[in-house]
Chains A and B, each alone.
Chain A
Amino acid sequence: MNENLFASFITPTMMGLPVVILIIMFPSILFTPSNRLINNRLYTFQQWAIKLITKQMMLIHSPKGQTWSLMIISLITFIGSTNLLGLLPHTFTPTTQLSMNLAMAIPLWMGAVLIGFRHKLKASLAHFLPQGTPIPLIPMLIIIETISLFIQPMALAVRLTANITAGHLLMHLVGGATLALTSISPPTASITFIILILLTVLEIAVALIQAYVFTLLVSLYLHDNT
């Protein structure tokens, strides 16, 4: 049981070929664009959802920050769809791999910070020292603010990885417990089954929320720096 618990997080290869590339590209099939004015139901729903998200996320930015809207909307769509697809049985979720989340978080964060340093150098440096600090505390506070700046991409990546991985592991464990309990005492098994159902509902919510949080934070870093 112990060895099998983490088996679902192994990168899938088929006879040595990295199938994981196909799995990462799979959600894009569900989102193909169309050039009609009025589309079928699936596209209309997707367009409505994307319009809603765009308005919600991009209104707070200046026009300069709004040039990032394509990047941010594709980010939230990708993370949300990948997390939701990972809830299907036996599937592999790419966002459980720290490598992929780091690859998403670091360039976006660094892009936002470098834009800030390039265009508004004084304001970006001023972020390191909050207003109204007592003078003796200044050196320590600058060090702390620098550390907190550099920890932002790590926190983004690790937050996403840990949430999704922990949710999947919990579902595996509770599901295994339910299965093992059916032969021992069915009433307990039904309780664990109800817990499993609640966990699944939570996981659906977490999948969407994590996408939202990731994207929101990236857009916040962007807002600070444009």
Chain B
Amino acid sequence: MADPGDGKMASPAPLKEKRLMEVRVGELPRWLLLRDLSPSGVAGAFRRGYERYHSKYIDVRKGSVSGVTMVLAAYVLFSYCLSYKELKHERWRKYH
């Protein structure tokens, strides 16, 4: 039984077996190092993530437009990060 004062306590399951959404932000570097970082492991992780997203949002009979729109929004964000270096100069500042 977790009472409200225990919010900052680490959850009892060992770090290695937790899924991504259950890992706290502070534990993230350690969790990443414990994962399988070989090429096939990384590819498997991407594959599993893709399948999860796909079956939840796209593969339903009446899938809405938000399934694809979330992917496109993530793509726009990714491209923004890539071109941030050039976009830095276009901000509305008096002195760049």
Contact = CB atoms under 8 A, between A and B. Distances in A.
B58 A90 contact: no
A7 B85 CA distance: 10
A91 B79 contact: yes
Given A41-B63, A42-B63, A4 B86 contact: yes
Interface residues of B, number: 22
B76 A90 contact: yes
A91 B79 CA distance: 5
A181 B94 CA distance: 17
A8 B89 CA distance: 13
A30 interface: yes
B40 interface: no
A85 interface: yes
Contacts of A42: 58, 63, 67-68
Interface of A: 4, 7-8, 10, 12, 14, 19, 23, 26, 29-30, 32, 34, 40-42, 85, 88-92
Given A8-B83, A26-B75, A40-B60, 14 more contacts: A4-B89, A4-B90, A7-B86, A8-B86, A30-B71, A40-B59, A41-B61, A42-B63, A85-B75, A88-B72, A89-B80, A90-B79, A90-B87, A91-B79
Q: What 7 pairs across the A-B complex have the smallest Cβ distances?
A: A7-B86, A90-B79, A91-B79, A90-B80, A12-B82, A40-B63, A41-B63
Interface of B: 50, 54, 58-63, 67-68, 71-72, 75-76, 79-80, 82-83, 86-87, 89-90
21 contacts: A4-B90, A7-B83, A8-B83, A8-B86, A10-B86, A12-B83, A14-B82, A26-B75, A29-B50, A40-B59, A40-B63, A41-B61, A42-B67, A42-B68, A85-B72, A90-B79, A90-B82, A91-B75, A91-B76, A92-B79, A92-B83
